[in-house]
Structure 1
């Protein structure tokens, strides 16, 4: 259960990062509200998951889901551009986190 909550929390991290961008410096109401709600839920889920998952592994998984998800939104939704080197870097992040889980 903790791993499911952790993955959902990582996806919520991606959501709050996207909402933060859309809020335009907290000048737009609904993206700002979405930011606050998804941030709180993401942190609460992380806190719950860390009850049973070791800190280093849990935090690395949570952050990496947020980093990869946010980068993909930037590339494919916000037009920041996709490239093979970017994709390889994201794969390296995923490989590192999988390594942490496997070696745990």
Structure 2
């Protein structure tokens, strides 16, 4: 169960990061409220997962899910470049996340 909580917390990282992007420097109220609220939920879920998982691996996985997710959404929805080097390095992050899960299981 802590792994499920950690993955959901990582997915929420994507949500709050994108909400803050749309908050335009905290000048738009509702995206800012959503971003801050979801960030608090994500951090709370990370805290719950840390009761049962090693902090180093859990934090790296949490951040990694958010990093890859935001980068992918940026490429698919925000017109950011999807170059081969960028995709290759994102793939390395995914391999690292899977590797950490495997050695911690």
Provide the TM-score with structure 1 as the length reference. 0.95
| Structure 1: distance between partners of 2:100 and 2:30 | 37
Is 1:98 the counterpart of 2:93 in the alignment?
A: no
Work out the CA distance in 1 between the residues paired with 2:103 and 2:4. Answer: 19
For residues 25 and 45 of structure 1, the distance between their equivalents in structure 2, rounded to whole angstroms, comes to 25
2:10 is the alignment partner of 1:13 = no
What does 1:1-104 align with in structure 2 at a 5 Å threshold? 1-104=1-104
What RMSD, in angstroms, separates the aligned Cα atoms of the two structures? Answer: 0.9
Distance in 1 between the 2:65 and 2:99 partners?
14
Q: Which runs of 5+ in 1 are unaligned?
A: none
